[in-house]
Structure 1
Amino acid sequence: MHEPRPASADFPPTRFTARQAIIGLRGRDLRSSLGLLLGQGLRQPLHTLRNGLALTGKLARVLRGETLHTVGDDPRFADPTWHDNPVYRRTLQAYLACQHQWLSWLEQSNLPSDDRDRALFLATQLSHALSPSNSPLNPLVVKECFDTGGASLLRGLRQLAHDLPRGLPNQVPADVFQLGVNLATTAGTVVLRNEVLELIQYHPMTEQQHAVPLLIVPPQLNKFYIFDLNAKKSFVQYCLKQGIQVFMVSWRNPGRAQREWGLSSYVQALEEAMDACRSLCAAEQVNLLGACAGGLTIAALQGYLQAVGRLGQVASATYLVSLLDSQLDATPLLFVDEEGLEAAKRHSYQQGVLDGREMARLFAWMRPNELIWPFWVNNYLLGRQPPPNDILYWNNDNTRLPAALHGELLDFFKFNPLARPGGLEVCGQPVDLSQVTVDSFSVAGRNDHITPWQAAYRSARLLGGQRRFLLVNSGHVQSIVNPPGHPRAHYQETDRLDAEPQTWQAISQTHAGSWWPRWMEWLQAHAGPLQAAHDTAGNDDYPALDPAPGRYVHQRLETHA
């Protein structure tokens, strides 16, 4: 009798990260990978035959009732029927045996490394799609069908027809969340509106506040309220309760008319926002915080300010899951070549923008067993509405990138310009991050599939000044939404940033809890003395315009003005 071997819920991770999502994925690339899979079977007939015979032997053992693989805590097969019912148990074991042998066939093939990774990506997607949990014979689906007299399947078909134009299952129910009502509810006032952004000044929550304000810069592809989901998760409220003056950038959702907006356009708008913060707080300096592409934007802003002799206006800079060093891997990514880069540029320039929904679909396929197939089962097979989830609502409320900025991001990933002095030019000035001597604090996620933490670590090392780097045990979004009180939250830290990423991880110390208090202690040291909080928002130069969350955040993807 053989000991059952664990079967992972997922194939090994592939090199599919933010760069691939920015570039996109062409149908011809997938067809080419499918051709690789089919052609490899013919080119290595003995190898294919051996694996076929091995699979036949495993399936025979499965039919005899043997358990060859375990599934651990895979939620797809949590229902006891998968393990207690003889038919379902054999179905599950046959699926796992096929998955395991398929992976073994790929790993032992003589395909070049890059071709093997591309084939593995497609094989992974096919394996997930063919899971028996995704079929109408899923025991949960069968039970629901009997309990509702078939009404669940009819509801599911209606929801499938509704979602087909979108290309993804709906991940959040309609009309559950409303901005300013149960999302982005922290009291504030829009005090600046230019063509590119709105600036929100949040109302104080303490009698005294630190003199130097904090300006938060979200990524251009997402709305700002990831920092203000609700009272329990609100990063904004956490800062306000610690006596920090908080300002927030809310980016305009660009349309075709804004196709020429590039990084310099965003830096110029951000410079105006920073000047407004200084004026409104009567402060000489501002603390900057950028997340994801917002981190790249504040780095470009500081490089520009250093070049024109105004870097002293920045007291500190915080980078959350941000890439400045775009060398994600020593080897090429899955579907990235010169032809693909140029095709991506042409597509966005023809459209005027890169639609955020295109990237959202690719990001979802990076984690299909979390963002695709559970909703397939829930929405279409069980005929239910997806459960409310504020983070998924925010994730689906994405925006567009203007064509010029999209093209610059493609070149950013291609040439890695910030890794060398003068490699990037912003507002007519060369950027040298080593001369940006502002104290910095960088946060990365150990499980981040979009911004690998090793690249974020190398990004922190590009900066001048005193640097801090924390590694959080979370993914891309959860590394930001990390309030105190989570029982499993922890982070790693060490004062040394002179080692390679794996060495740094080995010598770092692990601390329990959220990184927010650790960062706040650091920020307050850069936030100046306490003073009486301002009673009103705005001033003569920057009058109050609208209550938060403002106008720009309500611009939807359907508006292509």
Structure 2
Amino acid sequence: MATRELKSAPATRARTSTKPVARRAAPAPRAPRASAPRKRAAAARAEAPEASSRAKVAPEPGQGRAAAARKAGAGRPVVGELTDILADAAENTLALNPLIGVRPDDLAKAAKTLFQIGLASPGRVVANYGQYLQECVRILKGDSELAPDPKDRRFADAAWKSNRFYKSLMQGHLAAVKQFASYIDDTDLDSREKGQAQFAVSLMTDALAPSNWLLGNPVAVRKIVETGGAHLIDGMKSMLHDLQHNRGLPSQVDAAPFKVGENMANTPGQVVLRHEMFELIQYTPSTPQVHQRPLVISPPQVNKFYAMDLGLEKSLVKWVVDSGVQAFMISWRNPTAKHRDWGLEQYVKAIDAAVNTACEITGSPDASLFGSCSGGMSAAAYLGWSAGKGKQKIANATWTVCILDTAAAMEDSTLGLFSSQTTIEAAKAHSRRKGVIEGSEMASMFAWLRPNDLIWNYWVNNYLLGNKPPAYDVLAWNADTTRLTARYHSDLLDMFAKNPYVNAGALEVDGVPIDLSKVKLDAFVTAGITDHITPWKACYGTARLFGPNTTFVLANAGHLQSLINPPGSAKSFYFTGTVSEPNPMTWAKKVEGERQEGSWWPHWRQWLQARSGKSIPAPKALGSAKYKPIGPAPGTYVLEK
């Protein structure tokens, strides 16, 4: 059967309005006129109750600054389990940085600033160094009380405590980390400059941790004794492979056991539309009755869609299908340099084509919409564009781990650390020259933002211990990277800089001003407590944009783990409620005692089923007379490298 090809809209750019927007200290400016969603979001960003001061004690490796402050007897009062967890989670957020990167010039500038401060205040340097030497004396005498955070896996082996040599190495490292942090905290730098300096120094101290040395790691030394050093040959082979094929970084996963279409992305269905920018998959119903209103899923453009279909046991797609909801998945094409002009406008019109197709096939006048991460940002633009045209076709929407109020993210002290007009323009120029940003390039940027977890952990496992990286489905999906077009990269950076979903009219798509206050629908928003990519407070801001009756779910996991959260895990729990509280921390305290055990999926199922229309017999065949099946799921675009 002939394949239907639909061309994308002409490459006219989604543009930012030239309307004046008043600047403020935070990176994201505010417009003079406050729209309804803007007022709600601004209230959500109101300062949470914090301690009046922070203890000047360096955080131990793997430990958030809030935890360090509590250990020193300072820090804000701990209200309970949830707010205690949130205090540490807030210290590990990075959202925008992978899109910008960290330039060597920025790191050099931070280091130069510290050096100049040292030259100007030698007494401060001497005093700080004296404190370090005093701690070293205590370490040598065995009197030091320095200890790693219990969650710091680098020093989990018993030898770090029981062996005097290794304990001294570890404590010497912790002492250096502590004194560097103390030195920076005692400077007159502003909070942003201090954050930059701390980051630059942490790259060095993390790399020099004794756990990364062959003879400084007791586990590695035992392995040498056990194998006679033979395992180091395997480690060297892995290193040579990574130098050639992984941008010199240690591989994070053994992806060989995982095959797309076999044990991943294997929920049955058919491709019913092949567009220039995406394939639309309709999944085969598994229930005799289905709801008439379809659910159209808009996954992130920076990853492949099958994070939501990792395998039948943890597939969100299968969960939806088993709920009697007719599910349609947008499988974005992996762009190349020739697609450099695909931007927000083209992705909005692509979503429109997917929604129209799903409605035609199901006979429904409208659809439910599901947007995740960057796919949720384009889905929001689609809603604003549709509302502006007076043709809203979405009855309800779900957002998972998605930031729409970008100022709420940028205001976090660890977000946008090196973002400035200069770095943003440099990032845009870089992608413009190439036409795309390679997925491997973004992965490399992100790895250096969390080196202990994403570099040195695998350095030890793969090279020092000679082990293979783990075979894990989530990591296999993460390694199956996609490219990001130069135009959409630029549009995303503009969205973070200008916060257009809060500042009504700051963004136009195909000549239509985007104003989310015109979008009237029920919304369901999820976030992860320990999410370092889309911080939960920023996701709360997303929920506030759609009114105080929006349902908000906060799950006890990170970015992807909070989304892929199938029932059955004894460790899963979540908190939920409407977002009537303007302040996210006030909301957290309000729901503190209402912890829900298990996955949030059943809660969402109930919510979605109640909004998915009447029950009808399940279709006996997929597609329609107009949109006949082209080929089996997961389609062909997902296989493109």
Tell me the TM-score range normalised by the shorter chain: over 0.9
Alignment match of 2:395 (pick from 315, 325, 349): 315
Aligned amino acid, residue 365 of structure 1? W
The separation in 1 between residues aligned to 2:295 and 2:353, in whole angstroms, is 15
Alignment match of 2:371 (pick from 278, 290, 293): 290
Answering whether residue 345 of structure 2 is matched by residue 260 of structure 1, we say no
Map 1:34-49 onto structure 2 (within 5 A): 34-49=111-126
**Distance verdict in 2 for CA 1:40–1:26, change over 3 Å:** same
Residue-by-residue CA offset, 1:352-411 (whole Å, 9 max, x unaligned): 012222221222233222221110001111111111111111112121111111111111
Map 1:460-471 onto structure 2 (within 5 A): 460-463=543-546, 466-471=549-554
Residue-by-residue CA offset, 1:470-515 (whole Å, 9 max, x unaligned): 2222211111111112222222222342421221222123322211
Taking every aligned residue pair, what percent have the same amino acid on both sides?
Answer: 42
Query: In the alignment, what sits opposite 2:131?
Result: 54
Map 1:70-81 onto structure 2 (within 5 A): 70-71=147-148, 72-81=150-159
Map 1:101-180 onto structure 2 (within 5 A): 101-137=179-215, 138-165=217-244, 166-180=247-261
Answering whether residue 516 of structure 2 is matched by residue 433 of structure 1, we say yes
Map 1:441-452 onto structure 2 (within 5 A): 441-452=524-535
CA displacement at 1:106 relative to structure 2: 1.6
Answering whether residue 638 of structure 2 is matched by residue 553 of structure 1, we say yes
Answering whether residue 139 of structure 2 is matched by residue 28 of structure 1, we say no
- List runs of 5+ in structure 2 lacking aligned partners: 1-57, 66-89
Query: In the alignment, what sits opposite 1:423?
Result: 506
**Secondary structure at 1:209 match in 2:** strand
Query: In the alignment, what sits opposite 1:387?
Result: 470
Instruction: Give TM-score scaled by structure 1 length.
Output: 0.95
Aligned amino acid, residue 103 of structure 2? R
Whether the 8 Å CA contact 1:218–1:249 is kept in 2: the answer is yes
Aligned amino acid, residue 276 of structure 2? E
Aligned amino acid, residue 190 of structure 2? P
Whether the 8 Å CA contact 1:11–1:124 is kept in 2: the answer is no
Answering whether residue 277 of structure 2 is matched by residue 200 of structure 1, we say no
**Secondary structure at 2:603 match in 1:** helix
Aligned amino acid, residue 247 of structure 1? F
CA displacement at 1:16 relative to structure 2: 5.9
The separation in 2 between residues aligned to 1:7 and 1:414, in whole angstroms, is 32
Residue-by-residue CA offset, 1:248-306 (whole Å, 9 max, x unaligned): 11000111111111111111111111111111111112110000011111111111111
The separation in 2 between residues aligned to 1:99 and 1:537, in whole angstroms, is 60
CA displacement at 1:40 relative to structure 2: 2.7
Residue-by-residue CA offset, 1:188-235 (whole Å, 9 max, x unaligned): 111111100001111111111111111111000000000011122110
Aligned amino acid, residue 268 of structure 1? K
Aligned amino acid, residue 227 of structure 1? M
Alignment match of 1:324 (pick from 379, 404, 410): 404
Whether the 8 Å CA contact 1:278–1:285 is kept in 2: the answer is yes
Query: In the alignment, what sits opposite 2:46?
Result: none
Which range is displaced more, 364-373 or 476-485? 364-373
CA displacement at 1:118 relative to structure 2: 0.3
Aligned amino acid, residue 415 of structure 1? K
**Secondary structure at 2:328 match in 1:** strand
Whether the 8 Å CA contact 1:436–1:465 is kept in 2: the answer is no
Query: Which structure is higher in RCO with an 8 Å CA cutoff and minimum separation 6?
Result: 2
The separation in 1 between residues aligned to 2:398 and 2:529, in whole angstroms, is 18
Whether the 8 Å CA contact 2:269–2:282 is kept in 1: the answer is yes
Answering whether residue 420 of structure 2 is matched by residue 337 of structure 1, we say yes
Whether the 8 Å CA contact 1:198–1:249 is kept in 2: the answer is yes
CA displacement at 1:464 relative to structure 2: 5.1
Answering whether residue 87 of structure 2 is matched by residue 9 of structure 1, we say no
Query: In the alignment, what sits opposite 2:27?
Result: none
Which range is displaced more, 249-258 or 477-486? 477-486
Instruction: Give TM-score scaled by structure 2 length.
Output: 0.83
**Secondary structure at 2:248 match in 1:** coil
Alignment match of 1:19 (pick from 81, 96, 104): 96
CA displacement at 1:82 relative to structure 2: 1.5
CA displacement at 1:441 relative to structure 2: 0.6
CA displacement at 1:11 relative to structure 2: 5.9
Aligned amino acid, residue 261 of structure 1? W
The separation in 2 between residues aligned to 1:6 and 1:341, in whole angstroms, is 30
Equivalent residue pairs, number = 552
The separation in 2 between residues aligned to 1:119 and 1:41, in whole angstroms, is 13
The separation in 2 between residues aligned to 1:404 and 1:520, in whole angstroms, is 36
Query: In the alignment, what sits opposite 2:37?
Result: none
Aligned amino acid, residue 194 of structure 2? R
Whether the 8 Å CA contact 1:189–1:546 is kept in 2: the answer is yes
CA displacement at 1:38 relative to structure 2: 2.6
The separation in 2 between residues aligned to 1:67 and 1:487, in whole angstroms, is 38
Whether the 8 Å CA contact 1:304–1:429 is kept in 2: the answer is yes
Query: In the alignment, what sits opposite 2:10?
Result: none
**Distance verdict in 2 for CA 1:434–1:167, change over 3 Å:** farther
**Secondary structure at 1:212 match in 2:** strand
Aligned amino acid, residue 326 of structure 2? Q
Alignment match of 1:97 (pick from 161, 172, 175): 175
Whether the 8 Å CA contact 1:6–1:69 is kept in 2: the answer is no
Whether the 8 Å CA contact 1:14–1:121 is kept in 2: the answer is no
Whether the 8 Å CA contact 1:11–1:103 is kept in 2: the answer is no
Answering whether residue 237 of structure 2 is matched by residue 184 of structure 1, we say no
Answering whether residue 463 of structure 2 is matched by residue 375 of structure 1, we say no
Whether the 8 Å CA contact 1:231–1:237 is kept in 2: the answer is yes
Alignment match of 1:275 (pick from 338, 356, 378): 356
Residue-by-residue CA offset, 1:317-340 (whole Å, 9 max, x unaligned): 001111111102347832112221
Whether the 8 Å CA contact 1:439–1:465 is kept in 2: the answer is no
Query: In the alignment, what sits opposite 1:238?
Result: 319
The separation in 1 between residues aligned to 2:242 and 2:482, in whole angstroms, is 19
Aligned amino acid, residue 143 of structure 1? R
Residue-by-residue CA offset, 1:151-209 (whole Å, 9 max, x unaligned): 21121112112112423210111422110111111111111111000011111111111
The separation in 1 between residues aligned to 2:447 and 2:132, in whole angstroms, is 31
